[in-house]
Amino acid sequence: MRKTLVVGNWKMNGTRAFAAGLLSELKALSPWAADVAVCVPHPLLADAAQQLQGTVLAWGGQDCSVHAAGAYTGEVSAAMLADWGCRYVIVGHSERRAYHAESDETVARKAQAALAQGLTPIVCVGETLAEREAAQTDAVVTRQLAAVIALLGERIQDVVVAYEPVWAIGTGLTATPAQAQAVHALLRAQLAAATPAAASMRLLYGGSVKPDNAAELFAQADIDGGLIGGAALKAADFDAICRA
């Protein structure tokens, strides 16, 4: 039985004061039946680590470098995230792929770097609206995941996969439960061909998940939780999703 995982992606939002308030609210609302984590901006990791130590809430980063260390100004290594007690790191988010030209191979290398430091990478895959309308969804998401499988080999079993249709991120649009389940089933079948552990791997859905649609999405056979954007910035909404 796979335990639900709900991860809040704060993106580039929040000050230290905001983080202190939101994390305090979430601690007061916990615990939940699901595993819950927040991936905060890198400057807030120290505060998250201090506030969440010893609680049921885990924390993580929103990206990491493919490099272990060196002259890479502005980059954050997986070792640095591990040093702050992170459990998770998001890699391959569509915003990174689109705005920073990250290739499938780069995403795979980031997942590899995260695993080397004991982090669980949350590997994001997803298609644009144009790709969905061109009936390319299956080809796009399987290509993106195939690069990670090829590099990680048997260690693919140690990642979390998040399907985020790009057209549903921050738009208010959401894949129907049936649409989301179809892609998750495809991804699990692809993983099953690579590892016997596919049945126990957690696959998340992300893309305008809200309190009023989370329960139906999470009830699907191959959807094991969510990667939550905007709703993760409001304690009441995030709590309701965690309880869905």
- Which one from 42, 93, 127, 154 is the annotated catalytic residue? 93
Q: Is the peptide bond before 121 cis (omega within 30 degrees of 0)?
A: no
Annotation marks residue 184 as catalytic = no
Tokens encoding 23: 């994390």
Q: Strand ranges (DSSP E) for 53-140? A: 57-61, 88-91, 120-125
Q: Coil, strand, or helix at residue 37?
A: strand
Q: Does the annotation flag 213 for ligand binding?
A: no
- The residue written with tokens 């780069």 in the block is 106
Is residue 21 a known part of a binding site? Answer: no
67's CB contacts (< 8 A; 6+ apart) are 75, 77, 113
User: DSSP secondary-structure letter at 32?
Assistant: -
Alpha-carbon dihedral sign for residues 65, 195, 191, 215: negative
| Both structure tokens of 76 | 């954050």
Calpha distance 53→60 (Å, rounded): 13
Q: Give the Cα separation of 229 and 143 in Å (integer).
A: 24
164 noted as active-site residue: yes
DSSP annotation of 2 reads P
9 is annotated as contributing to ligand binding: yes
Q: How far apart are the first and last CA of the chain?
A: 17
- Sequence letter at residue 175: A
Residue 163 DSSP code: E
The one catalytic residue in 102, 127, 131, 164 is: 164
Task: List, as residue ranges, the binding site for substrate.
Answer: 9-11, 170, 208, 229-230
Catalytically annotated residues: 93, 164
